[in-house]
Amino acid sequence: MCGIVGAVAQRDVADILVEGLKRLEYRGYDSAGVAIVGHDDSLNRVRRLGKVQELADALKSEPLAGGTGIAHTRWATHGAPSESNAHPHTSNETIAVVHNGIIENHNELREKLQQFDYQFTSETDTEVITHLVHHELKTASSLMEAVQKTVKQLEGAYGTVVMDTRDKERVVVARSGSPLVIGYGLGENFIASDLMALLPVTRKFSYLEEGDVAEITRFDVTIVDKDGNSVEREAKESEVSHDAGDKGEYRHYMLKETYEQPTAIRNTLEGRLSGSQLNVDTFGAGADEIFKEIEHVQIIACGTSYHSGMVARYWLEAHAGVSCNIEIASEFRYRKSHVPKNALLVTISQSGETADTLAALRLAKDLGYKASLTICNVAGSSLVRESDLAFMTKAGAEIGVASTKAFTTQLVGLLMMTLALGKHNGMSEAKQAEIAHSILTLPNKLEEVLALAAPIEALAEDFADKHHALFLGRGDQYPIAMEGALKLKEISYIHAEAYAAGELKHGPLALIDAEMPVIVVAPQNDLIEKLKSNVEEVRARGGLMYVFADSKANFASDETMKVIDVPLCDDIIAPIVYTLPLQLLSYYVAIIKGTDVDQPRNLAKSVTVE
């Protein structure tokens, strides 16, 4: 979604801002812009529809000099993608603003500002902030005070940065519902919506809390909380590596991140699971005391993270002796739900900033859950800060919009959670050791699976002219079928649906013909004979099948079925193992179709608005 970068420095900052925007491209956007206060105190702005590179090219012919500047990538919500709707927005050639989020009362504010003769030049909700700050500055004693007065009038979500040409020593920033991170340099300071943007210039960061307003100058950062009290927000060194945003030898981030999965899982296991010893403190201080009392788990997530939660439900109820419910965050947050006794709320999120998941966590705090735990990949993110417990997946930065290594490391975290809860609910030591051993085989097993890339690439040709696909699975492979379908639709724009194979007769069978490829995830397990009956139902209707199965499942390729031989693995880790071939399939289909693999149309990596 939208990205923000800002700087207050002595040196010219245009290149830093544009590089920052490039590092945020993965989040998804449709236009980009930059505004800088010139050495003569003029407000200079360049905006372009399309890629950040278009903006960079424009700046080559029209360079902007100056040390105080703000920049933005926009993902349209109010007003179509266009140059005039792109940020920064300005008021009276003095105030410039970038904004992430949605101002819900923008119509009302717009009418009020029009009465004061403010002229609007865009269709955005953001422009009201610009004119409001200008208006408030007529009576306020400082930019900080004007921004504080402005945000009090805003309803909705914002992460915003405000700059005034008459006071170019500072920018003022405010956060409510949309993350902002301050980057500390030497004699220069920065602001961004995601620390990835600032890694080339600093490694020291502090996150603003909800309701904070901060003034950033070259040498100082002053923060006040929502009640106007001065506060400190602890600055920490980031562990994210500077080159996390490089594709290296790979053609796309998605492919790089698919191949990084064995390492990401090794990193996620390190120091946490050895032999059958699980370090429960890895979920946070006091986790074991909380887990001891848990009788029910409510999982909340969106997108791919929702699918990992679906797998966890099978694991928790089968092995950990606790009941489990899983729900999409945008549904959970708007319905009245019953909270069972001793229930743990678990959110799952790659980014830790997904608006609906965060809202669900905040709602749950009032509902009487015993505690909250997040399984998350971004340290310092809102979900991590606002949850009682946190399990950090160590996937490293994930840039491709289609989630790969974040998903499989979430599953590893959820398996460890199954162990941690299971030991308090009668899981035998032998079972604990068996599951722990299976988890530890994962990195090597996934390396074997990645060797399937060549045959899967060849298979992808069959999908090039298809418009629809059906994915089938049973038990804990049903969510993997759903994840496979999501991947295919996200990046190759082929309409794909997943069904629990037992549901075939209740509708999807009507769709089966030679034009509808059917992908089946079929490891040998207790349900394999049931699944084989479903496969026969498809075959009898002339369907063409692609079956991902191990040698024990005993499928053979023929004219109606192509079997992809997946290495044998223990049952419990099979959902993780079978994810990778489906990721590779969607990747190679997208390559053939020529779509934008890492930044699929209309999608964003981190969905910070509802």
Those residues with Cβ within 8 angstroms of residue 261's Cβ, 6 or more apart along the chain or in another chain: 404, 405, 408, 409, 446, 450, 580
Q: In this chain, which residue has its C-beta nearest to ligand G6P?
A: 303
Closest of 307, 328, 605 to residue 481, by C-alpha: 307
Comparing CB distances to ligand G6P, the nearer of 405 and 423 is 405
CB of 410 to ligand G6P, least distance (A): 8
Are the CB atoms for 506 and 474 separated by under 8 Å? Answer: no
Comparing CB distances to ligand G6P, the nearer of 98 and 375 is 375
Closest of 296, 365, 362, 298 to residue 327, by C-alpha: 298
Q: Catalogue the E-assigned strands of 210-290.
A: 213-217, 221-224, 230-231, 236-237, 273-274, 277-278
Candidate ranges 61-69, 279-287, 351-359, 473-481; the one touching ligand G6P (CB under 6 A) = 351-359
CB of 349 to ligand G6P, least distance (A): 3
Which of 256, 423, 532, 605 is catalytic? The answer is 605
CB of 394 to ligand G6P, least distance (A): 15
Residue 603 interacts with ligand G6P (CB under 6 A): yes or no: yes
Candidate ranges 51-59, 95-103, 343-351, 524-532; the one touching ligand G6P (CB under 6 A) = 343-351
Residue 583 interacts with ligand G6P (CB under 6 A): yes or no: no
**Distance in angstroms (rounded) separating the CA atoms of residues 485 and 464:** 15
Comparing CB distances to ligand G6P, the nearer of 77 and 279 is 77
Comparing CB distances to ligand G6P, the nearer of 253 and 555 is 253
Tokens representing 283? Answer: 């979920």
Candidate ranges 349-357, 423-431, 469-477, 578-586; the one touching ligand G6P (CB under 6 A) = 349-357
To which residue do tokens 């005039």 refer? 84
How far lies 198's CA from each of 12, 240, 399, 435, 452, in Å? Answer: 15, 11, 15, 40, 37
**Distance in angstroms (rounded) separating the CA atoms of residues 182 and 144:** 16
To which residue do tokens 């608005």 refer? 609
Those residues with Cβ within 8 angstroms of residue 354's Cβ, 6 or more apart along the chain or in another chain: 302, 303, 305, 329, 383, 606, 607, 608
Which of 2, 324, 376, 569 is catalytic? The answer is 2
Q: What is the DSSP letter of 199?
A: T
Comparing CB distances to ligand G6P, the nearer of 90 and 351 is 351
What SS3 state is found at 478? Answer: helix
CB of 596 to ligand G6P, least distance (A): 13
To which residue do tokens 């999120």 refer? 349
Map the footprint of ligand G6P across residues 248-287, applying CB under 6 A.
Answer: none
Are the CB atoms for 548 and 566 separated by under 8 Å? Answer: yes
Give Cα 526 to chain centroid, integer Å.
34
Comparing CB distances to ligand G6P, the nearer of 106 and 605 is 605
Comparing CB distances to ligand G6P, the nearer of 47 and 405 is 405
Give Cα 459 to chain centroid, integer Å.
29
CB of 430 to ligand G6P, least distance (A): 34
Comparing CB distances to ligand G6P, the nearer of 258 and 403 is 403
Comparing CB distances to ligand G6P, the nearer of 85 and 349 is 349
Which ranges of 197-278 would DSSP assign to H, the alpha helix? 253-259, 261-269
CB of 407 to ligand G6P, least distance (A): 8
CB of 305 to ligand G6P, least distance (A): 4
How far lies 264's CA from each of 41, 258, 345, in Å? Answer: 48, 10, 25
**Distance in angstroms (rounded) separating the CA atoms of residues 405 and 369:** 30
Residue 44 interacts with ligand G6P (CB under 6 A): yes or no: no
Task: Report the alpha-carbon angle 499-505-509, nearest 5.
Answer: 75
CB of 439 to ligand G6P, least distance (A): 21
Given candidates 130, 160, 606, 608, which one binds ligand G6P under the rule CB under 6 A? 606
**Secondary-structure percent of the chain, ordered helix, strand, coil, rounded to 5:** 40, 25, 35
**Distance in angstroms (rounded) separating the CA atoms of residues 576 and 456:** 17
- Decide if 302 is catalytic: no
Given candidates 261, 351, 393, 492, which one binds ligand G6P under the rule CB under 6 A? 351
Q: Is 120 exposed, middle or buried (0-12, 13-18, 19+ CB in 10 A)?
A: middle
Comparing CB distances to ligand G6P, the nearer of 44 and 492 is 492
Residue 349 interacts with ligand G6P (CB under 6 A): yes or no: yes
Map the footprint of ligand G6P across residues 215-244, applying CB under 6 A.
Answer: none
Residue 492 interacts with ligand G6P (CB under 6 A): yes or no: no
Comparing CB distances to ligand G6P, the nearer of 354 and 387 is 354
Comparing CB distances to ligand G6P, the nearer of 174 and 607 is 607
Residue 350 interacts with ligand G6P (CB under 6 A): yes or no: yes
- Decide if 2 is catalytic: yes
Number of residues that bind ligand G6P (CB under 6 A): 15
CB of 445 to ligand G6P, least distance (A): 24
Those residues with Cβ within 8 angstroms of residue 208's Cβ, 6 or more apart along the chain or in another chain: 173, 175, 179, 180, 181, 182, 214, 223, 233
To which residue do tokens 């930059």 refer? 34
Q: Catalogue the E-assigned strands of 370-473.
A: 371-376, 389-392, 468-473
CB of 599 to ligand G6P, least distance (A): 10
Q: Return the number of other C-beta atoms located less than 10 Å from residue 53's C-beta.
A: 13
CB of 357 to ligand G6P, least distance (A): 5
Given candidates 31, 357, 393, 608, which one binds ligand G6P under the rule CB under 6 A? 357
CB of 395 to ligand G6P, least distance (A): 11
Binding track over 297-336 against ligand G6P, x by CB under 6 A: -----xxxx-------------------------------
Map the footprint of ligand G6P across residues 360-419, applying CB under 6 A.
Answer: 401, 403
Those residues with Cβ within 8 angstroms of residue 217's Cβ, 6 or more apart along the chain or in another chain: 8, 169, 170, 189
Residue 607 interacts with ligand G6P (CB under 6 A): yes or no: yes
Candidate ranges 69-77, 97-105, 228-236, 346-354; the one touching ligand G6P (CB under 6 A) = 346-354
Number of alpha helices (DSSP H) and beta strands (DSSP E) in the chain: 19, 27
Given candidates 354, 387, 408, 608, which one binds ligand G6P under the rule CB under 6 A? 354
Catalytic residues: 2, 605
Contact residues toward ligand G6P (CB under 6 A) are 302-305, 349-351, 354, 357, 401, 403, 603, 605-607
